[in-house]
Structure 1
Amino acid sequence: MTIAAGIDIGNSTTEVLLARVGRGEVDVLADATAPTRRSKGSAESLDGAVSLLRRLERRSGLSVEVAVAAPLRPVDTAATTLPEPEQTTGRLRLVASGSRTVGGEGSGIGRPVLVNGHALSVDGSDAVVAVVPRGVAYQAVLEPLRALASGGRLMAVVMAEDEAVLLGNRLAGRVPVIDEVPTDQMLDAVRVAAEVRPAGTPLRDLADPLQLVAQLGLRETDRADAARLSARLRDASNAVIALSEVMPAAEVSPAAWFEIDSADGRRCLLLASENDALRDAPVGAAHAYGLPPAVSRRKVDDLFAVDLGVVADTVVARSGAQRSRAVALSMLHADSPYRDPGDALADRLGVAVQTVASEATAARAGGISTPGAEQTALVVDIGGGTIDVVAAGENVVAAGGGQLLTISVAALTGATPAAAEWVKRGPAVRVETPHLLLGEDGSREFLDRPAGRETVGSLAVRGPAGLLPFDRTHAPGEWRALRLRLKADALGANVARAVRTLNERPTTVVLVGGPVGDDEVLASVARALPSGVAVGRGNAAGMLGHRYGVAYGLLLSLLRS
């Protein structure tokens, strides 16, 4: 019997098994897992694997005589945040919406007038909207504004500084005051409209296209633009709109794109309905992409992306909850091929290291050792960077895995990637008070010890050191819908894409890999596959669980050799 090590270096984590191998048996003696150092296949990742193995040797009192590993290929996963695609609104322009601090209440429309603390003389007797630029405090403009208000001419105030509450409390009447507005974009307008409603109350006038047409005196050609703009304000409680004399020139921003095999060889935009082409096309169809600002062409062997704006739109997230549109991508770059780690590991370990043909074949060997799995079962290895779908004689390796989910959660919530690793795993709660948690299903939980003050009013999950706050924008039920949809799009749809590429119609699918421990991921994959397919979590050798499928498969390869 030989003491052997199965070393599985992944994009996110590294797993090592120690076993006695021989006489047709693999007797597992010890196991360990740790985060992968740097990128998969790097010198640091090999050093980390060796360190983990040495730790197992010390713990078990054994010395490895031979090791086995698989070829390594890194996957790059990233998120790029782009401005929300603007619908053309002609002469109308949304200057600001959703300011966190406002004063007064109601709506007002008028000619924009600069009020900067100097002597003020406003010609005419028409209604005006005061524009207070950056660097001007409310005390400097209070008296001129009071004079305009007493004459019945002041309809609203928009200001750059965060002083709307202070100013609104000192103006007579209910003049709407909105702050943190880019005032430099307003003085060339012919009319400005502003509206403030109580927090959580939707706008009435600016969200009504007929009111916009009537009160701004719009032309018939502006009617469709008014409808498009007002639709963006239905969940806002304050907003500022500017009307120009002529339609401003459109700003052209660099677009994110990918190239995909098609009849016309066209480029597809990542921020468009064309993004569905990645979901529908086979693995390997995408062969290049470009991201702003450089938009330089980068070749890939496969690419998968998730438009997080579409995810939010699909579950009817509140307008304004996502202030920009992020796209999460996983890329198998053409200039990062598979590398054999055998010699480098052998040098570090001082023992012979065998390299199997592929990680996918090891995953299959470990996966079908699951009790209840058929020998003809399809094995799906959901790793940190790739999804490997493996049949008896062939396999497909698709870009995208657990890291794509992590970075998508981080982009949607504003959490750090480290926090997103915990956030993505399951249900969250909102900390209503230091002693009360509100669940996603409306349930309430009372705490014996008060939660930290930083968590109150935030969504939170239970992390390694207690409640981990991560989001103050979404409601608990809204976040649940977003999270489940994200898992369906980032993982379920990608598994279905790879299965279609393999042209398999399985009756049984065995899932292995770290992300499979998430019950919601298991359900997302099952829903993405045809009805009647038995989808289950792997349990290598009937005792090692889902995470060690590849490492156990590597050890099994020693029996064949």
Structure 2
Amino acid sequence: MSLIAGVDIGNSTTEVCVGEAAADGTIHFLTSASRPTTGTKGTVANTHAIKAALNRAMSSIGRTISDISLIRLNEAAPVIGDTAMETLTETIITDSSMIGHNPSTPAGAGQAVGEILLIDNLSRGIPGTPYIVAADDSYSYEEVAAILNQSADTLDIAGVILKADEAVLVENRLRKKIPIIDEVARIDKLPDGVLAAIEVALPGQTVRMLSNPYGIATLLHLNAEETRTVTPIAKSLIGKRSAVVLKTPGGNVRENVLPAGEIYLNAENSASINLDEGAAEIMKAVADAGKIHDISGQPDTNVGNMLTRIKRGMGELDHTPDADIRITDILAVDTLAPVLISGALAGETCLEKAVGIAAMVKTQHLPMREIADKLKMELGTDVRIAGVEAVMASLGALTTPGTKLPLAILDMGGGSTDAAVISEDGRVTMTHQAGAGELVSMLIETELGLGDRHIAEQIKKYPLAKVESLFHMRMENGQMTFVDESIDPRFYGRVILLAEDGYIRIEKELPMEKIVQVRRDAKRKVFVTNAFRALKSVAPGQDLKNISNVVLVGGSAEDFEIPEMLMEEFADYRIVCGRGNIRGTEGPRNAVATGLVLSYAGERQ
């Protein structure tokens, strides 16, 4: 009897399976475990996670790593994802700016136009000239209200901008009701004497004039050329409760446009395609190219810089002199990305069309041999590189109850989507394609403007709810859920994630419906697109109708909505599709690690 360990190094998770091999070639599975992958997949840094996972697995059966006779590793190909902007216009406003953040407490309603006048300079005001008064936090709300009431008889005060969170408190004390915006952190940057338009929407509504370039032109008397330059500003104010736009002195707005660029496919049918044509046309060009040897981008463009950066990152992992670093597959998806408008006073961004790209990066020398040698030295155990992920996943998937040959599998991980078809006589056809869970997280982070990959991962994994009282919440499907014990007041009125170990509050002020839409769209763009192109490439005759059963495995198959999405999409092809249950106990995880142990028995025979 000897103990055999299969180790699957994934982009996000490293999984192990330990089995006991009998003299007659049969395998008795003993235990399994997983740990987060350390370092980039396919690099020596992975050894830390491998050892941690092996320790956890062996300790669960009262054994140690030294009892293992053989460790079998999968061939791990790194997959690196990044985004490329289709258009990127940087609007630089030098002497003035615009404010369009979304404070939770503006006061008043309506639009007003006037010159910016600092509250310290009210004595310089000219009767009959409309003013927008700006006050920093050196004045209390009582002082601001008193000064405004005192000046209201002699000056035309059309609106107010405050640094402190006190708009409602000031408005309650004014004799004349005017729109007031607060929470403007960099109020000291407001230029005195510049014409400004202010708008505060009614509760439940958003600004209308200042989110429309022609509305801004109407209020600030702009010509056609000036209207064109304020378009990014107007776009950034869509959906805001309040906004201010300042009329920039002539000559202070300039644009710096970096071209989107072309993608060059070095393949059987070499081709080039411009990023501006969008994800659908890019993926059509990839499909028509045949076997791809390498993908590169036009120099000094968005996509060229991105692909160069990806290759450079891989070059840091492969230090061999003859390193042949190639991008062999990409998945492109359309998205929207918030672009920061330079010169803004409150971090304003405007949404620009972008293309998200996951790239499959390969080198002539994958560092797997180094990983095996290091493990062998540190553990004193025989270590071998034993199989390709898609083949091993297929073997593992066959341990799912209710499966038989022929069988197709989709292995959906963090960085790549693998597909394989095993024929009745045991022949395996496989493909390894870029794009999976990490690209979904990147799209969620980008489209929602989170600036936090961890919370994007959480949004991807868990359903949402809105806490509407301390004893009930509205789920994302509209269902009302009541609780026996009071909900923590910190969650009141907030959108939360329903994690296994408690609630997670979404700190960014975003409507629950928008988060749900972005999450579901990102999953469809990545997983549905990749599932179809992967299965089509391995299906007999490249026709999905020749596939009858698909088993979903990998970490992303555990997702609470991806399998259902795929089931709906495959229904038109009469394909039976569902989550795998590896060895009848593991769910969709551990397929590759299990396959590595099973393949040992096959090699012995």
What TM-score, normalized to structure 2?
0.76
Q: Deviations over 1:21-77 (max 9, x none)?
A: 353432212222222233323444223323432443343356322222112233334
Task: Determine helix, strand or coil for the equivalent of 1:157.
Answer: strand
> Residue 576 of structure 2 is aligned with which of 519, 530, 534?
534
Partners of 1:414 and 1:470 within 8 A in 2: no
* Distance in structure 1 (CA, Å) of the matches to 2:420 and 2:523: 21
**2:360 is matched with which residue?**
332
**1:522 is matched with which residue?**
563
**1:30 is matched with which residue?**
31
Give, in angstroms, the shift of residue 401 of structure 1.
2.0
Change (3 A) 1:216 1:310: closer
**Residue 483 (1) aligns with residue 519 (2):** yes
**1:304 is matched with which residue?**
331
* Distance in structure 2 (CA, Å) of the matches to 1:226 and 1:249: 9
Worse-superposed segment, 250-259 or 196-205 = 250-259
Partners of 2:111 and 2:197 within 8 A in 1: yes
Partners of 2:84 and 2:306 within 8 A in 1: no
Quote the sequence identity (%): 25
Structure 2 stretches lacking a partner, 5+ long: 312-325, 339-346, 422-426
* Distance in structure 2 (CA, Å) of the matches to 1:197 and 1:433: 26
Change (3 A) 1:518 1:457: same
Give, in angstroms, the shift of residue 488 of structure 1.
0.7
**Residue 406 (1) aligns with residue 429 (2):** no
Letter of the 1:559 partner, please give it: A
Superposition pairs for residues 140-219 of structure 1, below 5 Å? 145-146=148-149, 148-151=151-154, 153-160=156-163, 162-181=165-184, 187=191, 191-203=195-207, 205-206=209-210, 215-217=219-221
* Distance in structure 1 (CA, Å) of the matches to 2:462 and 2:122: 60
Partners of 2:264 and 2:295 within 8 A in 1: yes
**2:61 is matched with which residue?**
60
Change (3 A) 1:257 1:184: farther
Change (3 A) 1:48 1:216: closer
Give, in angstroms, the shift of residue 541 of structure 1.
4.2
Structure 1 stretches lacking a partner, 5+ long: 312-319
Worse-superposed segment, 414-423 or 286-295 = 286-295
Give, in angstroms, the shift of residue 548 of structure 1.
1.6
Give, in angstroms, the shift of residue 265 of structure 1.
3.2
Letter of the 1:304 partner, please give it: L
* Distance in structure 2 (CA, Å) of the matches to 1:79 and 1:228: 20
Change (3 A) 1:118 1:519: closer
> Residue 408 of structure 2 is aligned with which of 365, 374, 378?
378
Partners of 1:321 and 1:473 within 8 A in 2: no
Letter of the 1:434 partner, please give it: L
Letter of the 2:383 partner, please give it: V
Give, in angstroms, the shift of residue 554 of structure 1.
0.8
Give, in angstroms, the shift of residue 389 of structure 1.
1.8
* Distance in structure 2 (CA, Å) of the matches to 1:84 and 1:307: 14
Change (3 A) 1:257 1:446: farther
Partners of 1:189 and 1:244 within 8 A in 2: no
Letter of the 1:395 partner, please give it: M
Give, in angstroms, the shift of residue 513 of structure 1.
0.7
> Residue 466 of structure 2 is aligned with which of 417, 422, 430?
430
Worse-superposed segment, 205-214 or 462-471 = 205-214
Change (3 A) 1:286 1:518: same
Q: How many pairs are equivalent?
A: 547
Q: Deviations over 1:189-209 (max 9, x none)?
A: 864221223332234554677
**2:320 is matched with which residue?**
none
Q: Deviations over 1:128-170 (max 9, x none)?
A: 3334578777677666644553235221223455543444344
* Distance in structure 2 (CA, Å) of the matches to 1:7 and 1:490: 26
Letter of the 1:66 partner, please give it: L
Change (3 A) 1:437 1:530: closer
Letter of the 2:592 partner, please give it: V
* Distance in structure 2 (CA, Å) of the matches to 1:463 and 1:484: 18
* Distance in structure 2 (CA, Å) of the matches to 1:305 and 1:187: 43
Give, in angstroms, the shift of residue 382 of structure 1.
0.9
Q: CA RMSD in A?
A: 4.2
**Residue 235 (1) aligns with residue 244 (2):** no
Letter of the 1:456 partner, please give it: Y
Q: Deviations over 1:360-398 (max 9, x none)?
A: 221122224434445333322111221112234443222
Change (3 A) 1:418 1:274: closer
Letter of the 1:297 partner, please give it: T
Letter of the 2:505 partner, please give it: P
**1:365 is matched with which residue?**
395
Superposition pairs for residues 422-501 of structure 1, below 5 Å? 422-471=458-507, 473-501=509-537
Partners of 2:211 and 2:237 within 8 A in 1: yes
Partners of 2:116 and 2:194 within 8 A in 1: no
Worse-superposed segment, 287-296 or 515-524 = 287-296
* Distance in structure 2 (CA, Å) of the matches to 1:241 and 1:471: 27
Partners of 1:37 and 1:45 within 8 A in 2: yes
